[in-house]
Amino acid sequence: MRFQTQIDVDAAPDVVWRTLTDVESWPNWTASMTSVERLQQGEVGVGSSARVTQPKLKAAVYTVTDCEPGKSFTWEMRTTGVKVRAGHSLEALSEDRTRMVLIVEQTGSLSGLIEAIFGKRTRQYVSMEAEGLKNAAESLRAKPEEQ
């Protein structure tokens, strides 16, 4: 299964990146996350990981496997019979406008079953995350003195 969504954000790429990589704040702006706990200090980068808990899903540890600071990061989790890759990338459209693309891919021997059971929820959650990040980043852009 592969699902991709994109959304344009009325905020500069650096504002969107800061919002995106503050993963522990995600539950504040999307109902698709119950909690996100960073397992290491420092910036989001290759090898960093977080425990992600989502409604109606088992908690999972995601580890960053690819990162281009300011532009993209991909993290993965593995469980019996399935690997989930979640990509997050930004494209500057102008000085104050950014396109964000979110991609979720599930592979492995049980990925078809997982898609049948959780596919609709996965697509809903990814769309909720895109909309939530847009709103969070745009609210920061609107109040630069509070950053």
pLDDT in tens, 5-30: 999 999 999 999 999 999 999 999 99
List, in order, residues 6 or more apart from 110 with CB less than 8 Å away: 80, 81, 82
d(CA 135, CA 70) in angstroms, rounded, equals 19
Phi, psi values for residue 38, rounded to 5°? -65, 135
pTM flag (> 0.85): yes
Inter-residue contact 110 to 102 (CB < 8 Å): no
Residue bearing tokens 């990040």: 133
Does any domain span residue 58?
Answer: yes
Q: How many domains does the chain have?
A: 1
- pLDDT tens digit sequence for 28-49: 999 999 999 999 999 999 999 9
Q: Residue 43: count other Cβ atoms within 10 Å of its Cβ.
A: 10
Does any domain span residue 101?
Answer: yes
d(CA 4, CA 20) in angstroms, rounded, equals 17
* Domain with 87 in it: 2-142
Does any domain span residue 147?
Answer: no
41: domain CATH number? 3.30.530.20
